Structure 1
């Protein structure tokens, strides 16, 4: 009976004398007849939360070092007392004993403390300290260059306050890092209002997203920009310069505006131009020959205009500054505020993909007439210089620059007079890390 019930039902057929087939055997394994179990979907595991990094785990260490070789091939390496020697305020390695020098050995620590606050600290291990023994300097001290925090005032990070010792937003060339600059040195005229480029204070930076997008595209293209600064800035600093004690209780005020724009509309597809202006008002007390710092504050007010076309492949860059600055008056035998002006024009040609790496040949002319306020007694400089050179990047981590300059300079010492004229050949190797 069990076998008959287990067999499927069949429609009735006509009677026949053929005997019925034997019934199929009953399975002995109960599992064989058990219904197939329906799979049960397991609940998906909850996503594992990523552990948030502590602020110190987000810090980055980087930097660069520049080793140079300077050789005066013609002109006064030495001169009698009272006569200018061939020297430069931009590089003390240009001297009668040129040979090898370390111009910069920078170490940077930077990172985000939170979504709204980041820090930046930079020191230079190639700083020199003067008058250590019989007026001899000591080399390669570790000295602070930057120590600041950026506080972002909006989620998009278009508006920020920079607090601490940082670069003064005066002059495009001053803001550009020396690791990115094509020529070896900044020009005297643009650097004179802010020697050392930095001071202690607060800056408000604003960068519209459209401008930031252009700068981001230039960075991706490998262009050498001026760094992490806004398109618009207003600032207040102590005004005595980098690593100096405040002397007069006043503030140096600075304002900057710089705007890049594409040149596709005039047939220069892919090229970008940038124009801007910066201005500063200050009262400065220079060091004096008799010792210490002047008790008189001198007007130190300047305006700068800059413009450039980023090289793709040809580029041009120019700046000019006007103003008044502390300057030694030889007739009076004293310091007074006098006119200071000058600037430069530079042409370059960028070849990013040659068989030996990126090449950027360049030519630059510079001129300056005015005081150099960071030297004792703020001596007057008269600079005329023509230079040509090439920057070669065989590797991302390695840069080599060769440079020739025809120079006419006044030495930055009010006790020496006249123009030192000559020719200088220079070379630099920079490694980035």
Structure 2
């Protein structure tokens, strides 16, 4: 008898539980006859993807002048410690976590050549329309100034960015809010120029406008003024299948320099501005790439031993060629670039005078491995209060192995 009562009670409890569960489901899912909610949720690995690359360099071959250096380019270049050097170890986490929200986080595990981790990118894109032709990019990301600055180091052919435009934004990045617009068709075109191996710059919109701190990435903001940047670019597709891209860009803002505390310099904040143009004829198979910019900014003057407002200009021209041999891709290239002006992010806005010729070849036996051999002939002057008379001339052979994963 007791067993029958127990079974009856268990049956009643299970029945009430089933009714209660159905009632909750009815209230939470079928709130209206017109509303349809998909209760199926993606697993985290279906929304988040991971990729990356690593670059190992050696700059010690046929070096004629160990005092010839470029700290912004490559800290393993010059000096007496030219050994193997991890230039970059990047892991990229990204994904479309909502139909209108995309995130992108990229740490570098070899920052500054010290094998220390540092955030390079950390932002999310907020789509403002269903097609996401209008977007806001919020966080730390690349400042849309220049083609080569926006081009990933994973895709760029020469080992380093040229001084002319790269001196505008150290590490190419800063924290701020960017607005981008591009029609869906052109967004697909930007994507193709990267995925096809044509070394595109990525999707930074046909039109871009933004405000950002101005002291460059991973540096604290030192004043209350924001920098403002704008860029207009368009990748034309000719009937022959040839891609040609032209860009105009400019920015302005107030920058606080890092000065030598032992000097009598009074001014540390300077108004700066730049404007420039870019032209790219993608290598199909012959390519030409050129950029140029002008402006004003802080620059160390070795005659007065002070930092002054001064004009600046710089740019480059590069020719390359895609040569396919079976499964192997060879990209011979040559680039000449120059720059005269200060580098605001270096001590005392170091005065630079750069003339440099590079001749090299990139070899890709497959999409996961690249080897670049590049011979550099350089004439560099870089002067500040610690070294007010410093011109270095020389040449060296540089090697880089890159693994994409």
Q: Under TM normalisation by the shorter chain, which class is it?
A: 0.7 to 0.9
In the superposition, the TM-score normalised over structure 2's length comes to: 0.86
- The equivalent residue for 2:283 is 311
Gaps in structure 1 of 5+ consecutive residues: 1-48, 79-84, 129-137
* Correspondence 1:97 to 2:81: yes
- Report the CA distance between 1:295 and its aligned residue: 6.1
Deviations 1:32-51 (A, max 9, x none): xxxxxxxxxxxxxxxxx893
Pair 429,291 (structure 1): closer, same or farther in 2 beyond 3 Å: farther
* Correspondence 1:423 to 2:395: yes
Larger Rg: 1
- The equivalent residue for 1:256 is 231
2 CA distance for matches of 1:302 and 1:63?
Answer: 32
TM-align CA RMSD: 2.0
Deviations 1:32-75 (A, max 9, x none): xxxxxxxxxxxxxxxxx893304564101111110000026343
Q: 1:62 aligns with which of 51, 61, 68?
A: 51
1 CA distance for matches of 2:233 and 2:262?
Answer: 40
Q: Judging by fraction of residues, say which structure has more helix.
A: 2
Pair 286,294 (structure 1): closer, same or farther in 2 beyond 3 Å: farther
* Correspondence 1:53 to 2:36: no
Contact 1:287 1:294 survives alignment (8 Å): no
Gaps in structure 2 of 5+ consecutive residues: 1-37
Deviations 1:370-413 (A, max 9, x none): 11111111111110001111111111111110000111011364
- Report the CA distance between 1:143 and its aligned residue: 0.5
1:31-430 to 2 correspondences below 5 Å: 51-54=40-43, 57-71=46-60, 73-78=62-67, 85-95=68-78, 96-128=80-112, 139-219=114-194, 221-264=196-239, 269-290=240-261, 296-351=268-323, 353-411=324-382, 413-416=384-387, 417-430=389-402
Deviations 1:102-159 (A, max 9, x none): 001111111112111111111011113xxxxxxxxx8111011111010000111111
Q: How many residues align?
A: 365
2 CA distance for matches of 1:345 and 1:88?
Answer: 22
1:410 alignment partner, SS class: strand
Pair 206,423 (structure 1): closer, same or farther in 2 beyond 3 Å: same
- Report the CA distance between 1:209 and its aligned residue: 2.8
- Report the CA distance between 1:241 and its aligned residue: 0.8
